Amino acid sequence: MSDHRLREALDTLKESGVRITPQRHAVLEFLIGSMSHPTADEIYKALENKFPNMSVATVYNNLRVFREIGLVRELTYGDSSSRFDCNTTEHYHAICDKCGKIVDFHYPSLDEVESLAEQVTGFEVSNHRMEVYGICEECKSQH
Ligand SMILES: [Zn+2]
Ligand SMILES: [Zn+2]
């Protein structure tokens, strides 16, 4: 399953003319294998033993390349660091207030919210983000 997604992602890189370096391959593999929406720092820490010469900046640069060709989505949260999501299908997030974990869930896209917002505000709406917050199952069971 994730092997298949990795192969597809590598094909997308090739089609976009992006060179597949061993580091890019590893960053992509890690992202696809983890459903945890990691930060660049977490990816760096996970791969640091494998690539001692790689810096956090390199990880960031690779993530930016992936984002530009639509392989990952960047989720920004104010001043804390961005999280990266390789699930680019329409979905929403549930976020744990305690441990910060982000879990994907699917819900019919809230298109009517976008069109209402356009009517009310006069904005040309390009996208939206919806998140629910609470305590995840794991944190709940640690009481
Ligand atoms: Zn939690
Ligand atoms: Zn997600």
Instruction: Provide the residue ranges of all domains of the chain, joining segments of one domain with +.
Output: 2-85, 92-140
- Residue 34 Cα to ligand 2 midpoint, Å, equals 11
pTM for this entry: 0.81
The mean pLDDT of 115-133, rounded to a whole number, is 94
Structure tokens given for 13: 């890189």
**Which pLDDT belongs to residue 38?**
93
**Which pLDDT belongs to residue 1?**
54
Please state which of the four CATH numbers 3.30.420.40, 3.30.1490.190, 3.90.1310.10, 3.30.413.10 is assigned to the domain occupying 92-140.
3.30.1490.190
Average pLDDT over the chain, rounded to an integer: 91
**Which pLDDT belongs to residue 114?**
93
DSSP element (H, E) containing 119 = helix 111-121
Ligand nearest to the CA of 136: 1
CB neighbours of residue 75 within 10 Å: 16
- Residue 81 Cα to ligand 2 midpoint, Å, equals 16
Q: Percent of the chain, pLDDT > 70? A: 97
Output 16 or 2, whichever has higher pLDDT.
Answer: 16
Model confidence at 3, in pLDDT bands (50, 70, 90)?
A: confident
Interacting residues of 103 by C-beta distance below 8 A, sequence separation 6+ = 35, 93, 94, 95, 96, 136
CATH architecture of 2-85: Orthogonal Bundle (1.10)
- Residue 127 Cα to ligand 2 midpoint, Å, equals 15
- Tell whether the model's pLDDT for residue 134 goes beyond 60: yes
